[in-house]
Chain A
Amino acid sequence: MTENTQNAAQEIELLAFRLGEQEYCVDIMSVREIRGWSRATPLPFSPGHVKGVINLRGTVLPVIDLAVRLGMPPIEGDERNVIIVVSVNGQTAGLLVDAVSDILSVARADLQPPPDLTADKESNCISALTLVDNRLIRMLQLDTVLPTQQNDTAA
């Protein structure tokens, strides 16, 4: 995420979604697809925010409950929820969110770095903040949110 170093006048397209009462967004270029909720197979010994894995057309895709990841109560998956499939550095994962709300075009200059809130569990997951129509939109730092990769693939 190097928005700040790039041409500030440039616009960036963001996919905004809701988590509880808050609004978040990711760079639309990292979004592969949006799909409805489907039951995830739980993974043993996984952190609480890892909901499990689902079958994405033959690929085993980990699903992260973004609410838990950001320190909020878990999302009990049902038909209203959606999974945003994102891909960062070749790693693909699904983000379980309450609902997708908007696609926004925001000038890079309007993205502000978040205040230093190290005590907050979610702060290192937020790369920027922006105001759109007086709504605060938090931009996710995707590589922090995704499960840590420990090993190269075996298969």
Chain B
Amino acid sequence: MSTDPMAEIRASFFIECEELMESLQDALVILDEDGGDSETINVVFRAVHSIKGGAGAFGFDDLVAFAHRFETVLDQLRAGKLELTSDATKLFIQGADLLHDHIRAAQSDSAPPAGAEDVLKALEALMGDAAPEEDEAVDFTPATLGFSLDLPGLDDEPQLPVELPVWRIGFRPRAELYASGNEAVLILRALAALGETRVDCHVPDDLALSADTAEQPQLGWTVRLEGEMTEADIREVFDFVTDVCDLAITQDQPAAGEPVPFDHPVAEAAMTEPPAIENASPLRLDSGSIVAAANEDVPAVAAGAAPPDPATRNRAARPESEPAAATVRVDLERVDRLVNLVGELVINQAMLAQSVTEAGMGENPSVMNGLEEFMMLTRDIQDGVMMIRAQPVKPLFQRMARIIREASAAVGKEVRLRTEGEATEVDKTVIERLADPLTHMIRNSVDHGIETPDVRQAAGKAAEGVITLSASHRAGRVLIEVADDGAGINRPRVREIAVSKGLIPADAQLTDAEIDNLLFLPGFSTARQISALSGRGVGMDVVKSAITVLGGRVTISSAAGVGTKFSISLPLTLAVLDGMVVRVADETLVVPLSSIVETATLSPGDVRRIGRSTEVLHIRGDFVPLFDLGVQLGFRRAPASADESIVILTTQEDGSRAALIVDQIMEQRQVVIKGLNRNYGPIPGVAAATILGDGQVALILDPSDLTHPTAPEGEDEIALAG
């Protein structure tokens, strides 16, 4: 746990900002596509408003100032005083991007992004005459808690019928109240149970959120309570805490902002600020319950206020727009710990199963049934834990939408992003590490893939290019594709460059697929001019290695005039995989089940030799390259006698196949992936390691890396040939 509570609170504010930005982006996409409805506009407004509120509490003045001006324009839109043209929507999207930049800047304590003023001016120009009242902006300059003060209507709101007695309760807990295990929220709730309440929270002007004041209660409340009750009823609520709080109960006709006597002077402005509680929620001061408590009295306020003003609406609408009660924010480290523990559980269960068999209890039905159930439960737990880590790719795709906007503007092209399968869930780590390679691929597609509008029109295509970003689950892996409808890869040009850069000999005979793959070579760049976007000669090779590190593979397909498609295939999780346990040269190895097509007994008659050392397997009419796994890994010099061997037919993402000779297939089971890279480093042909039931380490193979021509050929090959 961090020693600085403020840093934690800040961190959770930024997490919330990310969530708000996500809903903001979503709503803007809807606005962009079909104009949306008033609720969509409300979502946009609310998101900006909430960010502003939170930012104010932390004194992020630049962010507040930007959000405020942005919000003002949105407010006009919401009020129907602005027409939602496509140009306006573009500006709003730009505004959202800038808002995001401002959040980032606040997060990293860096200077606010440039260009904000222009966009704001353009946005404000949309409003024309419907300019905001000047004094509102002033409210956001003080360095105090910058709670939104744009609620002029609340205190003037029509009073509720006055037949019922109205109580005014001033309540300020002292430190001992909390120290004795009491909770102010519970008391406020108890009051709310008595009758109609309106709770005003008093936040001191000079509220210092720091470690040394954390123990010192800072907040006080004024509760306006209405209903049939006596003072004794109210006193009863405070029965346990009368000695440890400052309490003032009066029956009166409330005048706006009437101060209730307190030890601490409370700023007049803050006293009349109902949304203080809600705005403080990003602070996460037990916010869940506070917000819940605050929401209880929302209907009273909302019903009372004649025209719903921004903040109350925001407040009332919050529960439906954000069904956050069903989610829990958990530190990723805790989840990872759980993932590791479950991994240990899987290993342990395998060890137990092995000991049971060794102890001769393999015949005992109740033991075996129990063990089987244990196995299934373990598997369920594992799936469950993995699901915690899984997240939809949507936020990642949203980031890409922005990359496309900026990239296409920079090179003067019109490009639209189309996304598919946004809800596809992928391991969080995978998503995080995918952002950089994906960004580069998208930029690459905009820069090199999509043609300029005039070229496109000349080719009979729409001026606006489309980049399709899609995610789907396929055969236990995640497939992410970046496809453009551009001109396709200019293969002669690629070849020419590769030759001129000395990457391939001038007379090399290459297939189309091989030429396409040249793009992944380090130091390759086809752009004739180095643009600001891409084309510095680092790129696709970095993309490829970033994806390889994730256990993924990237392939290209391209058709001239139709477009280029990059496909990234990734493992669903980085923690477990289904594998086939095999034995080769007295070593135990695991072959990922996802890459196995079939297994068969090797009959010598099906093996054909090509040249001196290349063998192919004739299987169902196809010739498949054949490798002896033991030899390939350097475990033995020559293939074992072919009689008893078994071949495993493997396949790769690009559809190529290879046959591996193994000595024996042991079993098929789920194994926990243990990385080798941290303590050792990558090994060709080996994806990772695992621990088997007997406690021994077994290597998990990467068949495609192993059988790929680029796999390093050890001395063994030479020894075999000689």
Contact = CB atoms under 8 A, between A and B. Distances in A.
Interface of A: 39-46, 50, 52-55, 58-62, 90-93, 147-155
A61 B688 CA distance: 12
A93 B679 contact: yes
Interface in B649-694: 673-686, 688-689, 691
A154 B680 contact: no
B683 A54 contact: no
Contacts of A50: 680
Given A44-B635, A55-B691, A58-B343, A153 B678 contact: yes
B695 A154 contact: no
B643 to A, nearest CB: 25
A61 B696 CA distance: 11
B696 A41 contact: yes
Interface of B: 340, 343-344, 347, 549-551, 574-575, 587-588, 633-635, 673-686, 688-689, 691, 695-699, 712, 714
Contacts, number: 103
B691 A58 contact: yes
A21 to B, nearest CB: 30
A42 B635 contact: yes
Contacts of A149: 677-678, 680-681
A43 B550 contact: no
Nearest to A50: B680
B681 A39 contact: no
A150 B684 CA distance: 12
B347 A60 contact: no
A155 B683 CA distance: 15
The 6 closest A-B pairs by CB, nearest first: A155-B675, A44-B633, A153-B678, A150-B681, A41-B697, A60-B674
Most chain B beta carbons < 10 A, residue from A43, A45, A50, A60 = A60
Contact of B634 (A40, A45, A154): A45
Contact of B699 (A41, A147, A152, A155): A41
A154 B689 contact: no
Contacts of A40: 697
A54 B697 contact: yes
Secondary structure of the A contact surface, majority rule: loop
B679 A58 contact: no
B697 A155 contact: no
If over half of B's interface residues share one DSSP class (helix, strand or loop), that class is named, otherwise mixed; here it is loop
A151 B677 contact: yes
Contacts of A53: 676, 680, 689, 697
A155 B634 contact: no
A60 B697 contact: yes
14 contacts: A39-B696, A41-B696, A41-B697, A43-B686, A44-B684, A46-B683, A53-B676, A53-B697, A55-B691, A58-B347, A62-B680, A149-B677, A153-B675, A154-B549
Contact of B682 (A52, A93, A150): A150
Contacts of A45: 633-634, 683-685, 712, 714
Contacts of B633: 44-45
B695 A55 contact: yes
B526 to A, nearest CB: 27
Nearest to A52: B697
A3 B340 CA distance: 37
Most chain B beta-carbon contacts within 10 A, residue among A55, A149, A154: A154
B326 to A, nearest CB: 30
A42 B587 contact: yes
Contacts of A148: 681
Contacts of A41: 587-588, 689, 696-699
A154 B697 contact: no
Contact of A154 (B347, B675, B685, B712): B675
Contact of A151 (B682, B688, B691, B699): B682
Nearest to A155: B675
A93 B343 CA distance: 21
A55 to B, nearest CB: 5
Contacts of B682: 150-151
